[in-house]
Amino acid sequence: MRLSVLIGSMGWGLAQSQTITFRSLEASSGSLPTNSSFVFDGTNSDIAQQLYNRHKAGDTGAALDLTSVPAAVTKRLNRFNIRFNDLPGLVQRAVLWDSGFAISPDNDPVQIWPMGDHSMADIAIPKADVANVDCTFLNCSQPNDETAYSTKFCTGYQILNASRCVVDVFEDAGAGSFLGTMWSTGGDPDMTPELRLRDHTWTQDIKEFGGNVTFSVYAVHTVPSGEDPAWDVCPSGYGALTVPCHRRDQFSDAFMAANTTVPTGSAWVTTWLEDEFAQSSGFNKLLLLPILLSVVAVLALGWFFWRLRAKKLAEKLTYEYGGVSPHYWSGDTPDMVVRPMLVTSQLTSQFSTLSSHYESVGSNQTLKILLGSEHLQGRHIPFESLVFEKAISKGASGEVWICEYNGHKVAAKRLLQTKHQRAHNVQAFAEEIELSASLTHPNIVEFIGVAWNTLNNLVMVMELLPMGSLQQYLRENGVFLSWSNGKIATFC
């Protein structure tokens, strides 16, 4: 069987109960470290600060060759346009550790969760805590005359009962044959820490548990594999920090949510990255305004020449095919139709090009009537040839004028010019003009033609009857047209 953690008293001295307290991560100071008394001697796990100090001392470190960069690290660097692979190897390690990651034997970044109120800087287990779970120690001297310690006799129960971290599951092909120490202190003050993860898996005969028990303890090693001393062997020089952790698959999601934290990175490491490695976005925002102004100017100039070209083309087609007065294109009113329709079927190709330049949904049908109706073909009168002399009648929406046209007096009906006419009113008047043009009879006023300079100023030209209106005639001669006179004339 495999056991990874023992909670509660076992009654035989191998482990003690542990109470885990929990906290939310607090924002640390954004000031860069200035503590000259800091020593990386295995009593703390502030690997990021040791790497920062070595960076300031001029060390670089080999670049990491990870299978992937954690999304949390990429997101953190993206704020400053920093690419992980562009950082010095030593800084890469600092960012990884501070963001809560170490590296598996296959170069995969692996998540670490501090437990309780701990952070990545203090998940190293103090010697006193290891002693409290009844582990024994190997004492080793170092070149600086400081003593380095490592566990000698200690089961997986014991060391995990003192652990302060959980590590995500990873593969370690050499786990069964690896005989390194799973907890140790010490370290060269000038060392560049590594972030190596190893799986310490072994089987031990424990009579109190009925025989063989298999343990699996994950541990972070801070020296290269070639410098890792074997179990119960002192290193030839300095010792090194080794941090044992639980396996993630030993806990439920609920336990993890309640008892661990996800590192978000120290504020001072973020300041370090921003101050020393942040890259410009490559775009100067001060250039945005002149760029926008230039774009607007180019668009305005293009629109002006487009309108000018379209107007000239419209006038050319109008004069060549006897269609619309050039004043029609003046754009005097919002309801002006700006899409010429076909005058004859032969003009389809010429006008189809122009129609792509002009569009007005509200007045499209009106122009179709004026230019496409068979009753109005050849009956378009140039607006300039009409001389308005006198208004003789006015209604709610229209008025009638006496005009001179080609030396003759004519009647001209048009919409009132005192207000802006809506497209449907103009269309209704165009339909009236078309109907009048279709009626030919000796007793019906003769239709002469239609003229306009804008569709708001559409004019129907009719024969002028000089004797006045029907209303006036009835008022003056009604006595001769009474019903009684009609009956007398009928029977006499």
On the question of pLDDT at 489 being above 60, the answer is no
Does residue 116 surpass a pLDDT of 90? yes
In angstroms, the CA 475 to CA 472 distance is 5
What Cα–Cα distance (Å) separates residue 322 from each residue in 286, 355, 375?
A: 55, 17, 15
- Identify the band that residue 24 occupies on the pLDDT scale cut at 50, 70 and 90: very low
Per-residue pLDDT of 120-168, as tens digits, reads: 999 999 999 999 999 999 999 999 999 999 999 999 989 999 999 999 9
Contacts of 191 (CB under 8 A, 6+ apart): 40, 50, 54, 222, 223, 238, 240
Q: Is 251's pLDDT higher than 50?
A: yes
pLDDT band at 469 (very low <50, low <70, confident <90, very high): confident
Residue 204 has pLDDT above 70, yes or no: yes
Closest C-alpha among 400, 391, 385 to residue 462: 400
Q: What integer pLDDT is reported at residue 336 of this predicted model?
A: 33
- How far apart are alpha carbons 86 and 92 in whole angstroms? 9
Superfamily per CATH, domain 364-473: Phosphorylase Kinase; domain 1 (3.30.200.20)
Q: Which two tokens stand for residue 351?
A: 């006008």
CA angle 98, 120, 80 (to 5 degrees): 15
pLDDT tens digits, one per residue of 340-365: 333 333 333 333 333 333 334 346 78
Residue-wise pLDDT tens digits, 364-408 = 788 889 988 999 999 999 999 999 999 988 888 889 999 999 999
Report d(CA 18, CA 16) in Å as an integer: 6
Which of the residue ranges 244-248, 358-362, 461-465 would you say has the lowest mean pLDDT?
A: 358-362
pLDDT of 309 strictly over 60: yes
User: Taking the CA atoms of the chain, what radius of gyration do you get in angstroms?
Assistant: 49
Taking Cα atoms as reference points, which of 21, 333, 64 lies closest to residue 195? 64
Q: How confident is the model at residue 11 (pLDDT cuts 50, 70, 90)?
A: very low
CA 18-21-27 angle, to 5 degrees, is 140
pLDDT value at 190 more than 80: yes
Residue 310: the pLDDT is 65
Higher pLDDT among residues 287 and 191, named by residue: 191
pTM of the model: 0.55
**Could you tell me which residue, 343 or 39, shows the higher pLDDT?**
39
Residue 332 has pLDDT above 90, yes or no: no
Average pLDDT, the chain: 81
Contacts of 143 (CB under 8 A, 6+ apart): 237, 238
End-to-end CA distance of the chain, in Å? 137
User: 10 Å Cβ neighbour count for 77?
Assistant: 22
Q: Is the pLDDT of residue 320 over 80?
A: no
**CA pseudo-torsion sign 328, 333, 339, 344:** negative
Q: At a CB cut-off of 8 Å and minimum separation 6, what does 374 contact?
A: none
Pull the structure tokens for residue 340: 């010429």
Domain boundaries, the chain: 47-277, 364-473
Task: Using pLDDT thresholds of 50, 70 and 90, give the confidence band for residue 488.
Answer: low
